[in-house]
Chains A and B, each alone.
Chain A
Amino acid sequence: EAQVTQNPRYLITVTGKKLTVTCSQNMNHEYMSWYRQDPGLGLRQIYYSMNVEVTDKGDVPEGYKVSRKEKRNFPLILESPSPNQTSLYFCASSPPPWWRGVHTQYFGPGTRLTVL
């Protein structure tokens, strides 16, 4: 089954304690992205990756890091989480925009992060 998986689904942590949210896709997609969803703001892109070892900042990258060492994995790292990073996080993958066919993104199930 084609899917994007994220772990953990729920996480409560404290300020300053490093954490990693994992993301994996089994569709051999080049593009992967991380978003955060906040009320009234929709989904805002944190980082995206166009392929292995190619990553770039989205709209709200401050306080986050990513890596893309393998095509299937795109972890999100919070080196020193703060309460303003409390949010719902989504990982997503997609084929390149020039791939005439499916253009949509496939989303993971979301990770609810609370930073105390």
Chain B
Amino acid sequence: AQTVTQSQPEMSVQEAETVTLSCTYDTSESDYYLFWYKQPPSRQMILVIRQEAYKQQNATENRFSVNFQKAAKSFSLKISDSQLGDAAMYFCAYRSGSDNYGQNFVFGPGTRLSVLP
């Protein structure tokens, strides 16, 4: 079964600075998708960015970018020019590319990010 690990339970960053959240995963598949979700105090789960494993190019969405290292099974999230609204819990998630693999999505334990003014 796949597992997702986030080794940083909590992190903090100064407003306008850059922060990187770590995520590693374990899988024997070659076709899969990776995601970062943000959960603000409202508890809503918001998709931040996604990466297809077959794509070598790292995904970017405005101030958010990933460093996808397929061989190392690493998927870190970089937040540039951090804003107070970025403060949230961030979850890394894995999805199998195969219908037959049973498990749908697997989530990491989360990293709580604080943004300091």
Contacts and interface: CB of A to CB of B under 8 A. Distances in A.
Interface of A: 31, 33, 35, 40-45, 48, 50, 56, 58, 88, 90, 92, 94, 96-98, 103-105, 107, 109-110
B45 A97 contact: no
Output the residue of B95, B105, B109 with the most chain A CB within 10 A. Answer: B105
B47 A42 contact: no
10 contacts: A40-B109, A43-B93, A45-B105, A48-B103, A50-B99, A58-B103, A96-B99, A97-B98, A98-B97, A104-B50
Contact of B45 (A44, A98, A107): A107
Given A42-B108, A48-B104, A103-B95, A97 B33 contact: yes
A32 to B, nearest CB: 9
A33 B99 contact: no
Nearest to B97: A97
B99 A41 contact: no
A25 to B, nearest CB: 14
A104 B35 contact: yes
A45 B103 contact: yes
B97 A42 contact: no
A21 to B, nearest CB: 15
Contacts of B43: 88, 109-110
Q: Chain A's interface: helix, strand, loop or mixed, by majority?
A: strand
A38 to B, nearest CB: 10
Given A88-B43, A90-B45, A109-B44, A41 B33 contact: no
Given A42-B108, A103-B33, A97 B96 contact: yes
Contacts of A94: 104-105
Contacts of A104: 35, 47, 50
Given A45-B106, A97-B95, A97-B97, 7 more contacts: A43-B91, A97-B96, A103-B50, A103-B52, A104-B35, A105-B45, A110-B43
A94 to B, nearest CB: 7
A59 to B, nearest CB: 8
A68 to B, nearest CB: 14
